[in-house]
Amino acid sequence: MMSVEKRLGVGFIGSGFITRFHIQSWVGVRDADVRGIWSPNLQHAREAAALAKSLRVGDARAYDSIEQMVSSPEIDCIWLCGPNHTRVQNMEEIAHALKSGKGELIGIACEKPLARNVAEARQMLELARQSGVLHGYLEDQLFSPGITRGREIVWARGARLTGRPYLARAAEEHSGPHMPWFWQGELAGGGVLNDMMCHSIEVGRYMLTEPGQPRGSIRPTAVSAQVASLKWSRPEYARLLGEMMGSEVDYLSRPSEDFARATVDFVDDQGSPLIVEATTSWSYVGAGLRLSMELLGPEYSLSMNSLDSGLKLFFSRRVSGKAGEDLVEKQNAEQGLMPVVGNEAAEYGYESENRYFVRCFLDGKQPEENFEDGLEVTELLMTAYMSAEQRRVIKFRPEGLDTYVPPVAKSMNA
């Protein structure tokens, strides 16, 4: 086991939106520094490194290649934050550098989704195992302070005295992602179902699992889902999307779903039914990103909504500045009564998440949320796509899941 005095050097793959969120969260992380960034665009990698330096969370430098970053004695672990379609390739490059003795790593943490489909997710897990590294699946919502604290109290008091919770409702909704690749089914592995239901299903499953009990203590048995393109394939919005994202995003001929809902049936170890009900959309126009969660049990209920922040600002019509995301992620307006999330990196869970994974890697311990969890989430998401495609309830695990690719994610040339 590594000495606790050691500081962990962290390198990031990708220098986009989520990397910047992680770097911002690092002010609340102990015993680790952001020391490296690799991204195909060197200038962007330099900018992310400069952000880390300016926040004093590490003397970060931009690397020329993944191999060079893995080889550096400064880097002990890697946070994988590239686009979904580059995941396996990034992981293969890391594994290759390790196998050829170019460097050593303690751990790899990977953003959601672990991969675009089950075959790729299995490959990710296999590569991590072969490389002999610890692995973590970065599902930030499990670390959101409201979720962590709410779960603790519900289980310690409500569930202990009156019985376990049986229904978790989770939703993540906003008005659409910021980069073209998210909107291209083949690159992202799907639409909003793959992009955001990975959060809702996992946070629902987590809330229904008794603290201290393993993931297998509740078991998924069936999935029912529906997908639709409600807003962005309307001709006027498809045109607008093309203008915003470029001609490679064509929602008149090739839309991804901008709405998805699913119910996942579970059973507990007594055979009693439990349900996770998840709703996600890129077709929600409110103040900004809305994360909501409810947990229902026999004599209690819990609810949270990230837009019900304690802080609200009012701007009159005379305050007519530029559009921005300075009040809340995926902000849709700058005037009127607007909610503000005080510290988004902490509230959405990134800060505690990174603190947790750093702690595990320093202690040489496999994180409880790891690639195996990422694989099971992918299995549930792909079963949801199957259910939507076949318009029926699908028993878990269905045949053919390992090779299944949702219609929306199939190559145009396939």
Ligand X SMILES: NC(=O)c1ccc[n+]([C@@H]2O[C@H](COP(=O)([O-])OP(=O)(O)OC[C@H]3O[C@@H](n4cnc5c(N)ncnc54)[C@H](O)[C@@H]3O)[C@@H](O)[C@H]2O)c1
Which span (57-65, 76-84, 224-232, 236-244) binds ligand X, by CB under 6 A? 76-84
Report the residue number, 141 or 263, with the smaller CB distance to ligand X: 141
- Verify binding: residue 121, ligand X, rule CB under 6 A: no
Least Cβ distance, residue 10 to ligand X (angstroms): 16
Q: How many CB atoms lie within 10 A of CB 340?
A: 17
CB 265 within 8 A of CB 220: yes
- Verify binding: residue 16, ligand X, rule CB under 6 A: yes
Which span (80-88, 127-135, 230-238, 405-413) binds ligand X, by CB under 6 A? 80-88
Q: Which of 33, 67, 76, 111 binds ligand X (CB under 6 A)?
A: 111
- CA 89/CA 40 separation, integer angstroms: 13
Q: Which of residues 148-187 bind ligand X (CB under 6 A)?
A: 179
| Beta-strand pair 311-315/336-340 | antiparallel
- Verify binding: residue 84, ligand X, rule CB under 6 A: yes
Tell me the DSSP string of 263-284: EEEEE-TT--EEEEEEEEES--
3-state secondary structure of 137: strand
Q: Which of 28, 31, 59, 86 binds ligand X (CB under 6 A)?
A: 86
Strands of 167-173's sheet in order across? 300-305, 290-297, 167-173, 273-281, 259-267, 219-228, 394-395
Q: How far apart are the first and last CA of the chain?
A: 48
- CA 159/CA 296 separation, integer angstroms: 10
- Verify binding: residue 352, ligand X, rule CB under 6 A: no
- Verify binding: residue 81, ligand X, rule CB under 6 A: yes
Which span (15-23, 339-347, 396-404, 406-414) binds ligand X, by CB under 6 A? 15-23
Q: Which of 9, 11, 12, 15 binds ligand X (CB under 6 A)?
A: 15
Report the residue number, 15 or 200, with the smaller CB distance to ligand X: 15
Q: Which of 7, 28, 44, 55 binds ligand X (CB under 6 A)?
A: 44
User: Could you tell me how many residues of this chain bind ligand X (CB under 6 A)?
Assistant: 21
Least Cβ distance, residue 272 to ligand X (angstroms): 31
Give the position of tokens 């809902």: 261
Of 205, 77, 216, whose CA–CA distance to 142 is shortest?
Answer: 205
Record the tokens describing residue 57, joined without a space.
């969370």
Of 223, 264, 256, whose CA–CA distance to 391 is shortest?
Answer: 223
- Verify binding: residue 90, ligand X, rule CB under 6 A: yes
Least Cβ distance, residue 40 to ligand X (angstroms): 5
Q: Which helix (H) or strand (E) holds 304?
A: strand 300-305
Q: Which of 28, 83, 145, 286 binds ligand X (CB under 6 A)?
A: 83
Q: Which of 8, 10, 11, 13 binds ligand X (CB under 6 A)?
A: 13
Which span (12-20, 292-300, 335-343, 355-363) binds ligand X, by CB under 6 A? 12-20
Q: Which helix (H) or strand (E) holds 129?
A: helix 118-131
Q: Which of 18, 91, 147, 249 binds ligand X (CB under 6 A)?
A: 18
Burial class (CB within 10 angstroms; exposed 0-12, middle 13-18, buried 19+) of 219: middle
Report the residue number, 350 or 361, with the smaller CB distance to ligand X: 350
Phi and psi angles of residue 267, each rounded to the nearest 5 degrees, phi first: -125, 150
Report the residue number, 200 or 387, with the smaller CB distance to ligand X: 200
Binding site for ligand X (CB under 6 A): 13-19, 39-41, 44, 81-84, 86, 90, 111-112, 140, 179
